[in-house]
Structure 1
Amino acid sequence: MGILIKLRASLVARNHIDGSFFCLNHTPASLLETSQTTSINRTESAYRQLNLAHQLGRQTSRIPESGIGGVCVERYLLYRCPWPSEIQQGARRHTAPQVVPHEVLQVGNSLRTLDLTNNKIVEVPQEVGTIVNMQRLVLAGNLIENIPANIGYLRNLKILTLDRNRITVLPEELGSLSNLQQLTVSQNSLLCLPKSVGDLCNMLLLNVSDNKLNALPESIGGCKSLEELQANGNAIEDVPSSICNLACLKSLSLNGNKIRQLPPNLLKDCKALQNLSLHSNPISMDQFQQMDGFGEFEARRRKKFDKQIDSNVMMGSTALDEGIDLR
């Protein structure tokens, strides 16, 4: 290995190299592209000083039998993981694919991203709340019904993705995620949003489309940084007047609801609003055009639309979005 002392990048994907090859004191993260590796069979000591900065586990068939307790893991990605039922730690075996692998929960505070997309996870363990430095948690495409209250301890979390689960309620502790920037909970069974959602003052994107919401909480006006709100495919009848407080809101998408009218000052007060989509709602264009601030909104929309035309002409694209969709 001495001749590799200056090696900074090496592609070792799609291989069957024995794990002993990686028994190094300091292995650059770029040396280990493991996305197609079929087996990682090393003891904890071989990984103790290994900084696995990108991916450990993506489409791998096994993880080390002794776990990954000594690894400095920044990202742990288990997308459509084929081996949850085969994870071993000593003589102990997880036989049910419906649980978060215990080894994942032992990586400590060095974990920044945890992606468990498209598994069959039923429950989010309480231990997730102890990974306090985590910045991105992705649990999309599982069978999750409840989110533990101690998720509120993840004060450094910036992105929380919970799409395509079976969640009926979100805990009030969600409002403690003071650094959260993106919350997506589409395609679940939410009946309401917690009032504490208004405490997410740094949130830029909120997607609650395709749930069973009949209203948005009045507290949503507290999301002062919100730029995009998607609540398509619900049963929303009224839009809270507090939405007029969202001075940074650029895009509001409420397709497929039961909205008959909007807050009178929506277009006047939301001075950054450029896109408004209300397709398949019982609201008329006449009602919309009579709202205060319609002229200013139309000017902003047209300005954005014209820029998009110029951009698409330069890029050779024919896809355009005029920003409003009313029947």
Structure 2
Amino acid sequence: MKFVAIALPVLLAAAAGLAGCNQTSEKPAVTQNVTHTPFVQHPENAFSKKLDLYTQAYYLLMNGPDSLQPAYNTFHLVRKAKSADDIRFSTSRSLNRGLELFGQGLAIEDENLGDLDDAVRNAWQAGNKLRQDEQELEPYFRNREYRKDHLAKARASYNAIQNDYEAMFSHMAKIETLLLQYRKEESVRRMDFFREKGDWLGYYTEESIQNAQDLLALFAESEEPLDSTTLYARGNQLLRRLETSLAAQRKAYEEARASSRKNTAASLSVYRILTSLVGSYRDLRQHKKTGDLAAMHKKFNDALMANRRRTGKPY
């Protein structure tokens, strides 16, 4: 089963790159004379900030509990209603915040994300159009004016709102594809940075996040149904990679704490969240319920937020 909305995991092909070459607790060798692209000086640069803001916005709009999909489903129920019905018209409560985060990302200048910026800008414009069109109907339904005109005003607006949603989902699909690509590149850069510094806590924290991304990508990219046996056979392989990196992360955390290193608490938070994500995967494997997959997405997003706090750059 291929899911339309995902939590922005990297492509599984990333396993063949930097993250896949060190699946033991042995520290990888420090790379000498590594050439970076010019804009990569530190993992917390404009590129990283924009990418994280876009990631958070995407989660809210496509995966969060108040995302666009439930609002779209409600809209279709409203379209089928009759004027005598008690119609409850609601919009996505995450739309405003998602558009705000998109706007914050667009305000950060970085020439290396031009195609993603274009896609986000298109989604921002489409989202504002959707918000405007739906807001015009909110008092109409709230005050039950539809019973006076027998839904005439609403029916005149339905096609425009339908087009708004379709445009929004189309732009978000483009954003999804680009975020998959850029998050993969960013993860490799960050791990490379931490490896060169000899920051093994940072390195294994990043590797654990990437392995969690790969596990989520399995379900995002697969055309197989959620109860497919082969799906979980591959998932179990990815799970072992994640558990291995989590063990290495925990060991690095204990070493950092023993050396009185500061700012280790957020790394422990990432560890705990991803360990809980492992539990949600096991629930998914047992019950084959989309709610368990949604819990994995939620925990992955929480891990990203905790990782931002670890680096000292909260949203």
- Shorter-chain TM-score bucket reads under 0.3
Is the helix fraction higher in 1 or 2? 2
Larger Rg: 1
Normalized per residue, the structure richer in strand is 1
TM-score with structure 1 length normalisation? 0.21
